[in-house]
Amino acid sequence: MSSTTLLSEPMELSNKVKIKNRIFKSAMSEGLSTKNHLPNDQLLRLYKAWAEGGAGLVVTGNVMVDRRALGEPRNVVLEDDNNLSLFKKWANAGTKNNTQLWMQINHPGKQVFKGVVKEAVAPSAVPFESKLQRFFPLCRALTVLEIREIINRFAQTALLAKRAGFTGVQIHAAHGYLISQFLSPIHNKRMDEWGGPIENRFRFLSEIYLTMREKVGDDFPIGVKINSSDFSKAGFSEEESQFVIEKLDNLGVNLIEISGGTYEKPEMTGKNVKASTMKREAYFMDYAEKLKKKSNVPLVLTGGFRTLEGMEHALHENATDMIGLARPMAIYPNFPNLLMENDVPTLGISPVKTGLSFIDDRAMLELTWYSQQLERIAKGKATKPSFSPLLSLFLTLAKNGKEVFQQRRA
């Protein structure tokens, strides 16, 4: 147990919120809702497994604030209290074993695939680069009234999550979704109070947080997931990210999760990561260390952690306050318990490759492969770490056709 001293140490976000250890199950899109975008027994079983697996804090896959704005066909949506009893069952399953369960709340903006929704909206009518745009409908710019409506929807979803029994919420402001689009000078070309300098581009996120805080009160935890940068020329930069996080700290945000990239520059998946960074395991550790020198807000670092030594080192060096895990927990839902027992399996998590370049270069099968692992857990089955990528491809095509590779998210 001595080697896991820091990882097993409790963390207090406030006098009323205590997390039992430093392991944070980061959000992964499950795609397991009912056709009406509601929680079901599969989601309950999946989150019960993660709660019993030992993580201190578990974050759900993105829950959308509007059924007219879906990132993928089986997103969960929480916009009213008509089926709140189902969300209460989900919260009850995910808070077992003294586990914190936070709902990740999101709006996809223009990152909505063709055929999933009727239209795409964004801060400005700026298309994606041509090789990506063919998968998305052309977007239109939001009106000011629509911006205000979406802000209120975020706050309403947070209130409903609290009423359902979730112990906190996370605002998804990363990975090129709507809030990330507002923060980006590439995607936000507005000339009003919502665009221009970073102070204005930050306004959408700050208004969401402040309106949410009014609804849920001071004691209910609110976290934010945000990019260290977009890794795009003239995009959302590290300096702008630091500015936003310092502002969020001043506003009272409880926990910041650091990620990076968008679906145009998918650094959050480990793509294009330098060998020196891989050696340190965490993809965004250099940025987190810089941030720690400027801000006191509690941080979660997600992406790349694979060994107990790497996690302990990051905590010991004060690069992060919590260790974010995603893909390891798609294969080993009890991975935190194994860490605490110092019985960590060898995580040979390598890119899922079929050998077919036209599939592998798009990296979409990898997302589907992990989704298949989540589905196995949700059905009460054991995961298959050695599951054949070619068999995964065959089963995916047999079940969904080739269109599935246009409708999956990280």
What band does 16 get if pLDDT is binned at 50, 70 and 90? Answer: confident
pLDDT, averaged across the chain: 86
pLDDT the model gives residue 156:
98
| CATH fold for the domain made of 2-347 | TIM Barrel (3.20.20)
**Is there a contact between 240 and 183 (Cβ–Cβ < 8 Å)?**
yes
Q: What is the rounded distance in angstroms from the CA atom of residue 152 to the CA atom of residue 208? A: 7
pLDDT of residue 174 exceeding 90, the answer is yes
Pick the range with the lowest mean pLDDT from 33-42, 195-204, 330-339.
330-339
Check pLDDT > 60 for residue 386.
yes
Helix (H) or strand (E) holding 191: none
pLDDT digits (tens, 9 = 90+) for 292-344: 888 889 999 988 888 888 899 999 999 999 999 999 999 999 999 998 887 76
Distance (Å) of CA 337 to CA 43, 244, 308, 341: 21, 35, 12, 6
Domain ranges of the chain: 2-347, 350-410
**Rounded (10°) CA dihedral 267, 166, 169, 304:** -20
Rounded to two decimals, what is the model's pTM?
0.90
Pick 387 or 116 by higher pLDDT: 116
Task: Give per-residue pLDDT as tens, 84-122.
Answer: 999 999 999 999 999 999 999 999 999 998 888 889 999
With a pLDDT cut of 70, the percent of the chain lying above it is 81
Identify the pLDDT of residue 130: 84
Give the pLDDT mean for 54-63: 97
User: What is the C-alpha separation between 27 and 281, in angstroms, rounded?
Assistant: 19
Burial degree of 102 (CB within 10 A; 0-12, 13-18, 19+)? buried
Q: Check pLDDT > 50 for residue 10.
A: yes
3-class secondary structure, 273 = coil
d(CA 90, CA 43): 7
Burial (CB < 10 A; 0-12, 13-18, 19+), residue 247, is: middle
Instruction: Tell me what pLDDT residue 4 has.
Output: 57
**What is the CA 301 to chain-centroid distance, rounded?**
12
Strand 57-59 and strand 18-19: pairing? unpaired
pLDDT value of position 380:
96
